[in-house]
């Protein structure tokens, strides 16, 4: 495999999409040996086929704001690869959304979904719509308008969207409501639905819970546990919330959260009523984390800074891509971090990743450690198909077992000669083999 040529061709074909190129490069670098040892992948031209999305849908969304003004946003659905199951992946509403960022996320999702062991292909979608400061009625009109186009391309055996940044239970409800009306079906095409209309218990918490379960599995390989550890978390959204709850339940102390405005350090730990307060802060629909320090004055706010300068044993980046750079990684390593487990998708830059791998700390890429969210979405689909609901305990036990299985797959394919587990390599190789073999089985289509 000529990696340089592949990347040069990809760049030429996909100008202005740096995150997509970054994600592809990271995967290809780690599967070079597998390609060399298995000529069938080159013979079937798998690399060129696996880095090209099956389909990209781009469309206009027109909606009326509360003042009666007509607004226009752009929305996409990137159906990346359905070799192992129907397309599946979240919808993101954020001003930073571009075709390139969704292609990176759809590509990652393909391998992540393969790792869950469930039959799900990879997709991602979203819009540059900014939900911040919008009224409930505006959110509803936007979601409805978006769905009048998207409904044509999704379905329970075709493509099953879910939430992501800026898309939670409320937005899923509005999108699903319009889908239901337009298709006259109630077939559970979205996951992350409300609990009384087909949603699974534990789905809101699942990504964060799974992330902490994964960190716990990594720590076990060194005879450690998260109990008693100091944990730094970034973001204060859905994934951060779930991670903080589970870290507390397992006896850790979480000392940071962050937003685009800076980070909060709470030496007393973020637990109990403070976690409930996080939900209020999110619900207030503002983009700042600082008010936490008005409510809990022992906490300090560091404007314009990221939490990675704080001394911690475990770091859980749970906000957004490329939020942890080389300087942050070096700070964490210098301060003795043992484990970094990504709740967000690609939050660490390639340079940061390099530093973690060189320092041989426990480092998990999001496609392994945050796969609990989509795995529980898969469990939601199963419950919908069976027309029954599992208890929270049943869902959580299945989620925990899936995270253990993903960890085992990473160890199987990522263990190096000196015993160090390169989870990046392990996750990429395990996911790649599954998708690539399915593509070969199905022929050139
Ligand atoms: P949310 O919208 O619920 O939360 C995102 C959080 O990150 C918010 O607190 C947001 O603040 C904050 N944030 C955004 N930009 C920055 C920044 N530059 N610096 C610091 N904080 C920032 O999204 P989710 O929790 O759902 O998603 C977070 C990450 O996890 C994403 O990478 C997503 O793709 C990934 N993920 C999510 C899954 C899920 O189940 N939801 C599943 C798997 C992965 P603000 O709102 O003020 O911008």
DSSP string, 220-242: HTTT--STT-EEEE---SHHHHH
In the chain, where the domains are located: 1-49, 53-186, 206-367
pLDDT by position in tens, the chain (length 445): 899 999 999 999 999 999 999 999 999 999 999 999 999 999 999 999 999 999 999 999 999 999 999 999 999 999 999 999 999 999 999 999 999 999 999 999 999 999 999 999 999 999 999 999 999 999 999 999 999 999 999 999 999 999 999 999 999 999 999 999 999 999 989 999 999 999 999 999 999 999 999 999 999 999 999 999 999 999 999 999 999 999 999 999 999 999 999 999 999 999 999 999 988 888 876 668 899 999 999 999 999 999 999 999 999 999 999 999 999 999 999 999 999 999 999 999 999 999 999 999 999 999 999 999 999 999 999 999 999 999 999 999 999 999 999 999 999 999 999 999 999 999 999 999 999 999 999 999 8
Contact (CB, 8 A) for 234 and 323 = yes
CA of 348 to the centre of ligand 1 (A): 14
Ligand 1 lined by 345 (C-beta under 6 Å): yes
Ligand 1 lined by 256 (C-beta under 6 Å): no
pLDDT of residue 287: 64
pLDDT of residue 247: 98
Fold match, 53-186 / 206-367: yes
Q: Is 36 a catalytic residue?
A: no
Secondary structure E strands in 163-209 = none
Task: State how far the Cα of 4 lies from the Cα of 375, in Å rounded to an integer.
Answer: 34
pLDDT of residue 18: 97
- DSSP secondary structure letter of residue 197: G
Q: How far is CA 226 from the centre of its chain?
A: 22
pLDDT of residue 283: 81
| Catalytic, out of 88, 103, 112, 124 | 124
Ligand 1 lined by 346 (C-beta under 6 Å): no
Q: Answer positive or negative: Cα dihedral of 142, 147, 149, 154.
A: positive
Tell me the CATH number of domain 206-367, given options 3.40.50.720, 3.30.465.10, 3.30.1510.10, 3.40.50.300: 3.40.50.720
Q: Atom 44 (ligand 1): residue with closest C-alpha?
A: 344
Contact (CB, 8 A) for 150 and 178 = no
- What order do you get walking across the sheet with 362-364 strand by strand? 300-303, 262-265, 253-259, 230-233, 314-316, 339-341, 362-364
pLDDT of residue 281: 85
pLDDT of residue 285: 66
Q: Which of 107, 133, 164 to mutate to test the pocket of ligand 1 (most atoms within 8 A of CB)?
A: 164
Task: State how far the Cα of 117 lies from the Cα of 315, in Å rounded to an integer.
Answer: 26
CA of 445 to the centre of ligand 1 (A): 36
Ligand 1 lined by 260 (C-beta under 6 Å): yes
CA of 77 to the centre of ligand 1 (A): 19
Three state DSSP letters for 17-72:
CHHHHHHHHHHHHHCHHHHHHCHHHHHCCHHHHHCCCCEEEEEEEEEECCCCCEEE
Ligand 1 lined by 85 (C-beta under 6 Å): no
Task: State how far the Cα of 416 lies from the Cα of 208, in Å rounded to an integer.
Answer: 28
pLDDT of residue 284: 77
CA of 263 to the centre of ligand 1 (A): 14
Q: Atom 43 (ligand 1): residue with closest C-alpha?
A: 370
Q: Hey, what CATH topology would domain 53-186 get?
A: Rossmann fold (3.40.50)
Sequence-distant contacts of 146-149: CB under 8 A, at least 24 apart: 146/61, 146/75, 146/175, 147/174, 147/175, 147/178, 147/179, 147/182, 148/178, 148/182, 149/59, 149/60, 149/61, 149/75
Contact (CB, 8 A) for 231 and 219 = no
- Single out the residue of 37, 77, 45 nearest to residue 61, CA to CA: 77
Element at 363 (helix H, strand E): strand 362-364
């Amino acid at each position: 495999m000529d990696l340089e040529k592949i990347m040069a061709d990809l760049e030429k074909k996909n100008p202005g999409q740096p995150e997509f190129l970054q994600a592809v490069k990271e995967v290809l670098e780690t599967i070079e040996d597998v390609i060399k040892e298995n000529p069938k992948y080159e013979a079937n031209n798998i690399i060129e086929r696996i880095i090209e999305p099956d389909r990209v849908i781009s469309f206009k969304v027109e909606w009326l704001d509360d003042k009666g003004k007509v607004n226009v946003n752009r929305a996409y659905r990137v159906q990346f690869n359905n070799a192992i199951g129907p397309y599946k992946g979240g919808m993101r509403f954020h001003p930073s959304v571009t075709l390139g960022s969704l292609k990176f996320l759809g590509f990652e999702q393909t391998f992540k979904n393969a790792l869950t062991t469930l039959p799900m292909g990879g997709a991602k979608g979203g819009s540059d719509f900014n939900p911040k400061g919008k009224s409930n009625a505006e959110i509803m009109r936007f979601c409805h308008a978006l769905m009048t186009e998207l409904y044509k391309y999704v379905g329970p055996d075709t493509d099953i969207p879910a939430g992501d940044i800026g898309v939670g239970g409320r937005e899923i409800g509005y999108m699903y409501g319009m889908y239901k009306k337009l298709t006259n079906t109630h077939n559970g095409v979205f996951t992350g639905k409300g609990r009384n209309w087909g949603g699974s218990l534990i789905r809101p918490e699942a990504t964060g819970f799974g992330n902490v379960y994964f960190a716990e599995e990594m720590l076990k390989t060194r005879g450690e546990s998260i109990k008693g550890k100091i944990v730094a978390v970034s973001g204060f959204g859905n994934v951060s919330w779930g991670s903080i709850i589970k870290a507390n339940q397992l006896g850790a102390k979480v000392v940071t959260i962050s937003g685009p405005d800076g980070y909060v350090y709470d030496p007393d730990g973020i637990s109990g009523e403070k976690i409930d307060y996080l939900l209020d802060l999110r619900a207030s629909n503002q983009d700042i984390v600082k008010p936490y320090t008005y409510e809990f004055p022992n906490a300090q706010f560091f404007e314009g800074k990221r939490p990675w300068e704080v001394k911690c044993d475990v770091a859980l980046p749970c906000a957004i891509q490329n939020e942890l750079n080389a300087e942050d990684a070096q700070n964490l390593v210098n301060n003795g971090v043992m484990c970094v487990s990504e709740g967000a998708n690609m939050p660490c830059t390639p340079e940061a990743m390099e530093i973690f791998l060189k320092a041989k700390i426990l480092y998990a890429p999001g496609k392994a450690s945050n796969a609990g969210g989509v795995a529980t979405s898969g469990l939601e689909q199963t419950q919908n198909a069976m027309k029954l609901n599992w208890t929270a305990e049943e869902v959580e036990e299945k989620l925990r077992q899936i995270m253990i299985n993903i960890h085992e797959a990473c160890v199987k394919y990522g263990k190096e000669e000196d015993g160090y587990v390169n989870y990046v390599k392990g996750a990429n190789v395990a996911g790649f083999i599954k998708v690539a073999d399915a593509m070969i089985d199905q022929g050139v289509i």
